[in-house]
Structure 1
Amino acid sequence: MTPSAPSLQPPVDAFLRYLKVERQLSPLTQISYSRQLQALITLAAELGIREWPMLDVAKVRQLAARSKRAGLQSSSLALRLSALRSFLDWLVSQGVLHANPAKGIRTPRSGRHLPKNIDVDEMNQLLNIDLNDPLAVRDRAMLEVMYGAGLRLAELVGLDCRYVDLIGGEIWVMGKGSKERKLPIGRTAVTWLEHWLALRDLFAPDDDAMFLSSQGKRISARNVQKRFAEWGVKQGVNSHIHPHKLRHSFATHMLESSGDLRAVQELLGHANLTTTQIYTHLDFQHLAKVYDAAHPRAKRGKS
C-alpha cells in the first residue's frame, strides 16, 4: 500500500461499519462494498489523493479510466462506481464533503444477462429422485422447496423448522435487508418436507435448521450448490443446475402461467418491480396475442 493510502482507510472503515450496523446489509453485500472500496483506495493513492475531499469529478473519471484499463468489464465498472457513489454520499451526510463528485459519472450500458431457466419437462426430470437414501430425500425436499417457493440460496439454507407450517403449506423466510416474508410452497413441497422430517432426527441435529449436512449441522450454501449440480448430472439434465436457476425457473413458469408481475414480485421478495422484469422472457408472439385480444384499437380486419 502506498504511503498516502492509510489516511483514506478510516472513513471507509467507518462506512463499512455503517453498512453492517445501521443498514444491516447482507455479509456478501458488505464484502462486495469492501472489495470495491479497497481497490479504489489503491487507485486513489496512485493518483496522489491523500484524503477524500481531494477527489473531484476529473479524478473520479481518472479512477474509472484506470479501472477500465485494468480490464474491468462494464458491469464490474458500474458496480465499482456505484460503491464509490454510495460511499461519497455517506461522506456528504457526515459533513466531510460538500457534494458528491461521482454523481454525474456514468458507465456505458451493457446488455443485461438473462439467466436461462429450466423448462417444465426438464424440471420434472430433475425432481424425479428415488428414495434410495436419507440424503437423497433431503436433496429432493430442498429442490422442491426452492423451486416451489422461488427462494434465494441464503433463504433456503437459513430456513428453520419453526418457520414451516406444513398444515397451511406456508413458510417464513428472511430475505435481503432482514425483510421477512410468508410464502406458499405447494402440496408437492409439503409432501417432501414431511418425508425429510421423518428422517431428519437420524442426523442428530444440534439446532433448528430445516436442512442438515451429514454431520447434523446446518447445511452450507456451498454444499447445496454442489449437490444440486450433481443431481443435474445424475438425472441427465442438459444444463448446469444451480440454485439461482431454480429461482429463475420458478419466476418464469409463474409469469408464463399467470402473467401477474406484481404477484411474482411479492413472491420473489423484490423491492422494485424493475428487478422482477429481468425474469420475464415471454415471447413476442404471446405478448402480441394478449395485445390483440385486449386493446380496443387492435381489432384487425375491421374498418
Structure 2
Amino acid sequence: MRPETPSEQERESTCQAHVERYLSHIAVERRLSPNTVSSYRRDLASLLEGLGIQEVTAQDATPEHIRQVVIRIRKQGLSAASLARHLSSWRGFYTFAVHRLGYPNNPCAGFKGPKVRRKLPQTLTPDACTQLLDSRASPAQIEDDSLLARDRAMFELLYSAGVRLSELTGLNLHDVDLKDGQARVTGKGSKSRIVPIGSCTVRAIKAWLPWRDIIRNGSDEKALFLNRRGGRLTQRSVQLRLDTWAKSTNLGQPVHPHMLRHAFASHLLQSSGDLRAVQELLGHANISTTQIYTHLDWQHLAKVYDQAHPRAKRINPSKPENPEPEK
C-alpha cells in the first residue's frame, strides 16, 4: 500500500512551523532584538503569501518562484531598501532551512538585492551640542528641578557615551561607576560592553541621584532614570523630553536621541581618526556600519589630508596646471 502524500494544507502548515523554528533560532540562539524578529516575521509572511499564490511551498520553491514574489511585492510599491531587507530575511531563513531542516537548496542564493544608497545620519555640530547641553532649559517647560536634573544627566550620557536609546533606558543604578567614569550597557543581541563617561556626565548624574532617591520613595526600582511615579523611564518619554529640551534652548532644529549618538561617533572619529575604537564604543558588530561616519565631515578630512600629506598640495586655480614653456 502506497503511503499517502501530505496534503497541500499539511505542507503549508509544515512550512509555517519551519518559519517559527527559524524565528525562535534568531531570537534565542542569535539573540536578535524583538523588533528585528518582528521584521523577519513580516518579511517571511510576505514570502509564504507570494509562494502560496503560485501554489508552491517554501521547501519546493525555485529561483523563478522567488523572482515572481519579488515582482509581486515591487508592484505593491515596496522601496529598494525594503526589498533588500526582504531578500536578506528570506536568504537567512533558507540558509537555516538547508542546514537544520533538510531543505534541498537555497533558492535565494543567487539573488542580488537592489543597490541601496545609504543615507548619511542626521547629526549635530560640536557647537550645537554645546548649546544644547550647556544652556539651561526653561523651568516653565521642564516643570521642576528634579526633571531638569534627570534630563540633563540623560542627554549628557547620550552624547558622552554614544549609547543607544534602549541602552539608556535599560541602565540600572549599579551599571554606572561614577568613580571610574564608566558604565556597563546592554546592546543589541543582549551583548554588554563598557563605555567611558566624561566628567560632565559624572557631575550631571551625581546631581540627579539625590532627586532619584526622593522620587524612588523607598521602592526597590533598579533603573537609573525614573519617571515621576518612580518607575523606569520609557524610550518614548526620553524622545519627548529631548524634543522639549531642544525647543527650550532655542537650538533651532529638531533633535532626537539617536542624533546625539551620531554626534558622539562623528566628533570622536573626526578628532581621533580611530575607526576601530569608535566601532567598539558604539557596539557595532560590523565595522562597515561604523564607516558611514567617515563621510559626515569630508571637508574636515580633506583639510587634514592637505595639511598632513607631503604630496597633497592643492592646485592653485589661478595658475595653469601645465604652463607653456618659455621661448
- Specify the code of the residue in structure 1 equivalent to 2:168: L
Q: Give the Å deviation of 1:39.
A: 2.1
Q: Is residue 2:31 matched to residue 1:64?
A: no
Q: Secondary structure at the match of 1:231?
A: helix
Partner residue of 2:32?
25
Following the alignment from structure 2 to structure 1, what is the Cα–Cα distance between the partners of residues 221 and 292?
A: 37
How many residues in Structure 1 have an aligned counterpart in Structure 2?
299
Which of 194, 202, 205 is the matching residue for 1:193? 205
| Alpha-carbon offset, residue 60 of structure 1 | 0.9
SS at the partner of 1:278?
Answer: helix
Partner of 1:243: 257
Judge which range, 257-266 or 161-170, deviates more. 257-266
Q: CA deviation at 1:181?
A: 0.9
Distance 1:221 1:238, change over 3 A: same
* 2:227 corresponds to 1:213: yes
Cα distance in 1, alignment partners of residues 314 and 181 from structure 2: 45
In structure 2, the CA distance between the partners of 1:35 and 1:206, relative to structure 1 (3 Å rule), is: farther
Structure 1 counterpart of 2:152: 140
Whether 2:43 is the aligned partner of 1:36: answer yes
Kindly indicate whether residue 93 of structure 2 is the aligned counterpart of residue 84 of structure 1: no
Q: Which has the larger radius of gyration?
A: 2
Q: Could you list the per-position Cα deviations for residues 182-235 of structure 1 after superposition, in whole angstroms to 9, with x for gaps in the alignment?
A: 111100000010011111012224421101111111111111112112222222
Q: Which residue of 2 aligns with 1:55?
A: 61
Query: 1:244, CA displacement in angstroms?
Result: 0.8
Q: Could you tell me how far 1:84 is from its partner in structure 2?
A: 0.4
CA shift in 2, pair 1:19/1:170, >3 Å: same
Aligned to 1:159: 171
> 1:242-286, CA deviations, whole angstroms, 9 ceiling, x for partnerless residues?
111110011111112222111111110111211101122354443
Secondary structure of the 1:117 match is coil
- The TM-score normalised by the length of structure 1 is 0.92
Q: SS of the residue aligned with 1:280?
A: helix
Secondary structure of the structure 2 residue equivalent to 1:182: strand
Shift of 1:98: 2.2
- Partner residue of 1:109? 115
**Ranges in structure 1 where 5+ consecutive residues have no aligned partner:** none
Which of 218, 241, 248 matches 1:234?
248
- 1:215–1:266 CA distance, 2 compared to 1 (3 A): same
Q: Structure 2 unaligned segments of length 5 or more: list them.
A: 1-7, 316-327
Distance 1:233 1:116 in 2: 17
Which residue identity does 1:55 align to in structure 2? A
Q: Is the 8 A contact 1:206 1:216 kept in 2?
A: no
Distance 1:236 1:299, change over 3 A: closer
> Percent identity between the aligned chains?
45
Alpha-carbon distance in structure 2 between the residues aligned to 1:77 and 1:244: 25
Q: Which residue of 1 aligns with 2:318?
A: none
Partner of 2:196: 184
> Could you report, residue by residue, the CA deviation over 1:86-121 in whole angstroms, capped at 9, with x for unpaired residues?
001000011431221101111221211111111122
Q: Give the RMSD, CA atoms, in angstroms.
A: 2.0
Structure 2 residue aligned with 1:168, among 180, 183, 189?
180
8 Å Cα contact 2:48/2:58 also seen in 1 = no
Secondary structure (helix, strand or coil) at the match of 1:183 reads strand
What is the letter of the counterpart of residue 277 of structure 2? A
